[in-house]
Structure 1
Amino acid sequence: MRSLVQILAAVKELRWYYWGIIICSLLTAATSLLTPFIIKEATDEVVASLQGRGGGISVVLWLAVALLIADLSNTIISNVGGYLGDVMAARLRTRLSQRYFHKLLTLPQRYYDTALTGTVISRLNRSITETTQFMQSASNNFFPMMLTLVASLAITAWYSPWISVMLLVVFPTYMWLTTLTSKRWQKLEAKKNSHVDIAGGRFAEVIGQIRVVKSFVQEKRELASFSDHYDATIGLTRSQSRYWHSMDAARRGAMNLIFFGIHALIFVRTVQGAFTVGVMVLLIQLVNLAKQPAMMMSYLVDTAQRAIAGSRDYFEVMAEEQERDELADPVVGGRRELAPDEPMIEFRDATFGYEDGVDVVHDVSFAIRQGERVAFVGESGGGKTTLVSLLLGLYQLRSGQVRVAGHSIDQTPAELLRGSVGVVFQDASLFSGSIRENISYAHPGASDAEIEQAAREANAHDFIMGFEQGYDTLIGERGLKLSGGQKQRIAVARAMLKDAPILVLDEATSALDSKSERLVQQGLDRLMKGRTSVIIAHRLSTIASVDRIVTLKDGQVDEIGTPEELARSGGIYAELLALQSGSKQDRKKLKNFDITA
């Protein structure tokens, strides 16, 4: 239960709801307890009237009115408490979901290198839903009943301490038997959750790449794998449910025996004259009020077990180490001032490897001046895209430094660092929604004129206006309604509107046909104007106009120089030139330079 208490403590802004629920629960319990006392008085009054000693019909009617008032009060208060419980649960779900999403947004890239998207989503739906459902059920039903139980025990003790003692035996017995059940149940639940999360993760992947699945005719295999995981949960559920319900039968059987003893004691003491008929009715009703939470324990414990298992998954994510803390740093106009003679980008003996693996890049050193265009060239796996990831601060170096505008990125807030870099990837990575929303993604407050200007500079305005809805055209998930060239021009317009001083082009035209490449390249040329640009490309036409080239081999810098210098050096770039102008067999070797490092 500690993890559930942690959740309540973490959402302190809901404390007024907690207090409102507590007050309503107290009043609900009080009005529930009035009913047995009124019925007791009515019973004794009826018996007395039959014996010629009662106050007659008027007294009984007033007692009926009192019973109505108690019931109406209970109805109104319990529903107010239910309303507070529902709103509290909804707000709790909202806060937990927001914090979960916020946490995911702050986790380092390495977390997403191994986590399945669908699993992350499944955990959000399952963990938070199960936790809030338990909180809602507990606040709306069980909490008022527990207060009624405590009061019932106290009142029962006034008439017969032995009955209270027997009632008190019920709950330790029930909880002891539940404790025996809990450990094994939670292990089985964890296995079920694992299967559901894996299946959910694969489900999201398959739906996201349905064209690939259909193209390779793998629908049956994917369905079989998905079904296997859910079929496994059936077997686990059989074992889990069989064990749970056999133990529940033992728990409830023990309770039935205890309540048999309580009822027998009440009946015998009434026959012996210790209780009036009214007191007997009162005690039976109080026992039934105490019995309700006891009988509900089976459901409550079941939902609590699921909530505890779900909250553990939630806190497991929340405990993940996030990206470095943001450090305060003076900025000018949202960007760092570039000190005189400082390069815009500088790698100093940078060494990096993924997790516990070998170094991907090591001892990399070079500098890029403000406004300079520099291309990275090398074989696949040479470390080019890795250097871009390091520039964006997506990973932490093992040693060395990366500096932007004269400042180490380790001492630069991530928001400021990434706000200074515009990126156009090989995959345009658009979002569902309108063209307008995608172009203004980095600048949501941009005016229509600014959006249109960016689109014109990216050679996108004409094809956008060809759509019936123009800039309000919905493009589907990942821009599936657009061609490759159209998506790239939207991505270029997005980078233009961001207007960052540093630009990274990661294979921005490699997947396009010649016509689309020409249109996108024209937009890129406008985009690069006046910016420090880092270009990754294997088409020599793309990098022919750069100021310098950095060639990479096996994660190290091999050569640095102008295109003219490296063309004569005999290195990697010279080899590329020779292969491109050579035989068909030689040109096949160019595939080794396809850069997806």
Structure 2
Amino acid sequence: MEVVTEGASVRSIAQILTTTRVLWPYYAGIVVCSLLTAATALVTPFILKEATDAVVAVASGGPADGVVRTVVWLAVALLVADVVNSTVQNVGGYLGDVMAARMRQMLSTRYFAKLLGLPQRYFDNQVTGAIISRLSRSITETTSFLGNFANNFFPMLLTVVAVLVISAGYSWPLALLLALIFPVYMGLTAMTSKRWQVLEGEKNEQVDLAGGRFAEVIGQINVVKSFVAERRELSLFGRRYARTVATTRVQSRYWHVMDAIRRAFLNVVFFGIYVILFVRTAQGVFSVGDMVLLITLVGMAKTPVQMMSYLIDTAQRAIAGSRDYFDVMAEPADRDEPLLLAADGEADLGGAERETPGATSDVVGPPVALPDGVPVLELDGVTFAYEEGHDVLRDVSFRVRRGERVALVSESGGGKTTLVSLLLGFYRPTGGRLLLGGQDIADLPLAEVRRRVAVVFQDASLFSGTIRENIAYGREDASEADVVRAAERAHAAPFIAGFADGYDATIGERGLKLSGGQKQRIAVARAMLKDAPVLVLDEATSALDTKSERLVQLGLDELMADRTTLIIAHRLSTISAVDTIVTLRDGRVDEVGSPDELAVTGGIYSELLALQASASRKDRKRLRDFGILG
């Protein structure tokens, strides 16, 4: 675990403030209010000094003329100072609260935008719930600390500086003792924080892992319940938090032992201060009013010092959180994918998001026409490996002509899905070229690549929300008529009409209120509305019953009409209906040809036909190895 130095800690907070510099009006307002709060707080000791000296003078036998009027006006001055102080303090508190909320908005939005721009490879190595937990923990702890600092400690810090200056005018030993508190206290804290940071990092890791598992379990609660795994999952979740408790015992014991040492040091210093005050007053160096003034000032300095333990505790959490945040922000983005929001902090002070100059929008516009006279899709010696030295695809080459339907066939793990991921720009080939409409996708903006390709996955992958929102997901500017027309062509309109709210019916998380066939027809309608020139089908009917399959297939037939289609085939009936079959063996192209041609070559497709005709269990298992359902 990396140890964070004090310099790194300061840089973490400074980096947060720098990246949110658009909030400078709030920062400026907080500084002004803090200065006024400190100034009005410092008026009180001087008023008390004057009042004390006036009363003591009368008590000592001095003239009483006008003293009552003087002390009344001094009391009025105290009232005014207190009212102004509380008013300004609350104005500063308001600015601090809004600043913290705006900062949380900005950091959260920037974090989300960063995640949207990261390559697929990043998510392959992450647990979704851990990413979510990091958003909540890191940003919340950071903004809470800065909000608390702005509202409470910063005004007190200014007050302490003023107290030191005023005290030096009365007694330099007194000021020296006060000044000695802060470097010694911070030095002891620095010694404490190194080990504290390590332990906090261990706790954060367990919290993120627990949060990640929590999200997974809730997202797949039906699987958990069907395997009667509730107790196991609860035990695993509880153990993660039990480890944080064990770490907290060590961390807290260490922190509080060191805090007791720090506070003992403070007690000794303040003992020395009070001795100086009392002795000097008894010797007549200070008047009683001076003593009251200085005791009040020392009290004003003592409060922030005593708060420092809490401040440093929250600061350490904020620093640990900001480090996790900036680790994500430092991840290299996927080509041109950093997108969407304003460079000055993702949103202006009014909250309106603006597109970054030069960035591409995620809103899919009108259909993108591909140039004539070139293959719609061409792979030229494409090689790809998820891990260096372990090629999934090797020197793959084939072409897809306009309007052609091409089926990809291989054993499971043979590279079919990887080819689709490359086509969508989720990964980049480690060798060779992949051309779309005659252009290397490495030279095209990713948004442009994805505008040209529509995908219907085997899993419909719908979002919570309404049916309309899901159909229009690929065309944010789609009209009501466009949505209805797409639903009708996908043969989804009849079941949509059965909902009381029609297209405004909510479908639940991942479309849980819909049947498998209904979800797939919504997915087909979504692809239709996008109207991309290239269509990829991950055999959307493979997991459906016969009736649902027939309805979805009708929609797919509409979708594939006059469109270039790449099919990951799971049924021989689908394969036999395409124009061209590309078979892959060990990541290489084995054969390319029509179904009739490949049926007699003795290759993979010929083998599949023979396996389908066999009734033996071994042959049926071999057929399933290719992902073929028959």
TM-score bracket, normalised by the shorter chain, equals over 0.9
Contact between 2:581 and 2:592, CA under 8 Å: does it hold in 1?
A: yes
Match of 1:399?
431
Alignment match, 1:435: 467
Distance in 2 (alpha carbons) for counterparts of 1:258 and 1:134: 28
Q: Out of 243-252 and 470-479, give the one that drifted further.
A: 470-479
Q: Does 1:19 align with 2:28?
A: yes
Please say if 1:105 is aligned against 2:146: no
Hey, what does 2:561 align to over in structure 1? 529
Matched, 1:144 2:176: no
How do 1:117-516 and structure 2 match up within 5 A?
117-325=128-336, 338-356=370-388, 358-516=390-548
Distance, in Å, in 2 between the alignment partners of 1:413 and 1:388 is 17
Structure 1: which amino acid aligns with 2:387? E
Amino acid at match of 2:125: T
d(CA) in 2 for partners of 1:245 and 1:558?
69
Structure 1 residue 41 displacement after superposition: 0.8
Q: Aligned-pair distance for 1:370? A: 1.6
Instruction: Show the counterpart of 1:6.
Output: 15
**TM-score normalised to structure 1 length:** 0.97
Confirm whether residue 36 of structure 1 aligns to residue 75 of structure 2: no
Tell me, in whole angstroms, the C-alpha distance in 2 between the residues paired with 1:529 and 1:276.
Answer: 99
Post-superposition CA distance 1:232-262 (Å, at most 9, x none): 0111000000000000000011001100110
Alignment of 1:555 with 2:587, yes or no, is yes
1:65 maps onto 2:97 in alignment:
no
Unaligned runs of 5+ in 1: none
Contact kept? 2:582, 2:593, Cα under 8 Å:
yes
Q: How far is 1:542 from its partner? A: 1.8
Question: How many angstroms apart in 2 are the aligned matches of 1:341 and 1:500?
Answer: 18
Identity, % of aligned positions: 64
- Which runs of 5 or more structure 2 residues have no equivalent in the other structure? 1-9, 338-357
Distance, in Å, in 2 between the alignment partners of 1:407 and 1:47 is: 93
Instruction: Give me the whole-angstrom Cα distance separating, in 2, the residues matched to 1:288 and 1:401.
Output: 73
Q: Distance in 1 between matches of 2:584 and 2:366?
A: 33
CA contact (8 A) 1:328 1:413 kept: no
TM-fit CA distance, 1:357: 5.1
Amino acid at match of 1:431: F
Q: Return the match for 2:54 from 45, 69, 72.
A: 45
TM-score (norm 2): 0.92
One-letter amino acid of the counterpart of residue 12, structure 2: S
Given that 2:196 and 2:251 are in contact with CA atoms closer than 8 Å, whether structure 1 keeps it comes out as yes
Distance 1:581 1:462 in 2: 38
Alignment-mate amino acid for residue 55 of structure 2: V
Q: 1:333 to 1:76 in 2, by over 3 A?
A: closer
The list of structure 1 runs, each at least 4 consecutive aligned residues, that deviate by more than 4 angstroms after superposition, is 326-329, 332-337
Q: How much has 1:87 moved relative to structure 2?
A: 0.4
3-state secondary structure, aligned to 2:387? coil
Deviation (angstroms), 1:577: 1.4
Shift in Å, 1:328 = 8.8
- Helix, strand or coil: the match of 1:416? helix
Distance in 2, matches of 1:528 and 1:386, equals 22
Contact 1:379 1:595 (8 Å CA) reproduced: no
Q: Distance in 2 between matches of 1:381 and 1:575?
A: 18
Distance 1:325 1:448 in 2: 32
In 2, Cα distance between equivalents of 1:451 and 1:120: 34
1-structure distance, mates of 2:454, 2:537: 9
Q: Counterpart of 1:105 in structure 2: which amino acid?
A: L
Aligned with 2:622 (options 579, 589, 593): 589
The letter of the residue matching 2:420 is V
Q: For residue 612 of structure 2, what is the amino acid of its counterpart?
A: Q
C-alpha separation between the residues in 2 aligned to 1:328 and 1:136?
A: 32
| One-letter amino acid matched to 1:360 | V
Tell me how far apart the structure 2 counterparts of residues 552 and 53 of structure 1 sit (CA, whole Å): 110
Shift of 1:333: 7.5
The answer for the alignment partner of 2:103 in structure 1 is 92
Q: Contact 1:458–1:493 at 8 Å: present in 2 too?
A: yes
